[in-house]
Amino acid sequence: MKNSRSIRFVSLATGALMLPLALSACATDRAYGEAPGIEVAELEELPAPRLENLYVIGPQKALEIEVVGAERLSGTYLTDGEGRISFPLVGLLDLGGLAPNEAAEVIEDYLRGSYLLNPQVRVIPSEIPPPTVSVGGQVNSPGEYPVLGRQSLLRVVNQAGGLAEYAKLDDVLILRTVAGQRYIGAYNIQAIQRGNYDDPVVYPNDIVVVGDSPSRRRLDSILRFAPLLSTSAILIDRIGR
């Protein structure tokens, strides 16, 4: 099984953007910049990781790899800065973002046929850190936060100190890797707060990013100078949202 590295930008119905081109009720342009390797997935929600996949292999991690019946291939391997290992007979293997059982399947696929008839591989991390979710962007206290089992987007954002002053409420992303496939879900957190949509589930290893609203920053900059111009300020909003 070769590891897929493409990214799916998920078009979600539950409080998220309808991509690639979507308009809000206020006719705001919701187009997104499509980078190479990104495609829109016909999904209604982000796929959930399997329970055993809550731990994924990252950079600079020690892995105990056992190949049954092949002691010379078994041993302790250290991943490099990109989550790769140099494995005998195979060469460089990219295991970053994979669960231990998925990494074992990758190694088995490379060994099967050419080197072993029916390889059996076990991958055991030397140390398993507590599960966390990463929260960044326009929140008051970005960082890594512990999360056990399933958690909701609103609760995770609240853990990070809540939305910052310039948060873009209709541009909140959840990034998730499932079976080596990366997915991105885009949400309108204001609509979720109002109860218009369900609060999506966030799992360990997810990355939550709250977008920035440049127009609000520009508007605040204008208002700071308004008292110098007159006793009142009437603005025409031509800068978008």
Percent of residues in the chain assigned helix, strand, coil, to nearest 5 = 20, 30, 50
Residue 27 has pLDDT above 80, yes or no: no
Q: How far is residue 28 CA from its own chain's centroid?
A: 25
CATH 3.30.1950.10 segments of the chain:
56-125
- Tell me if residue 147 falls in helix, strand or coil: coil
pLDDT band at 105 (very low <50, low <70, confident <90, very high): very high
How many C-beta atoms surround the C-beta of residue 197 within 10 A? Answer: 17
Mean pLDDT score of the chain, rounded to an integer? 79
* Overall average pLDDT of the 223-231 stretch: 58
Name the residue with tokens 């078009």: 11
Residue 21 has pLDDT above 50, yes or no: no
In sequence order, the 6+-apart residues with CB closer than 8 A to the CB of 216 are 165, 166
Q: How far apart are CA 15 and CA 170, in angstroms?
A: 9
Q: For residue 241, what pLDDT is reported? A: 46
Q: What is the pTM of this model?
A: 0.61
* Weakest mean pLDDT among 92-106, 168-182, 191-205, 216-230: 216-230
Name the residue with tokens 């850190």: 129
Count each helix (H run) and each strand (E run) in the chain, helices first: 4, 14
Q: What is the end-to-end Cα distance of the chain in Å, rounded? A: 44
Residues 78, 83, 86, 90, Cα dihedral to 10°: 140
CATH 3.10.560.10 segments of the chain:
7-52+130-218
Residue 85 has pLDDT above 60, yes or no: yes
Helix H segments across 162-237? Answer: 189-193, 214-229
Q: For residue 22, what pLDDT is reported? A: 31
pLDDT tens figures, 124-136: 999 888 889 999 9
Name the residue with tokens 């829109």: 40
Q: Domain 7-52+130-218's class?
A: alpha beta
CA distances in angstroms from 37 to 33, 46, 183, 223, listed in the order given = 12, 18, 11, 41
The CATH number of domain 56-125 is 3.90.950.10: no
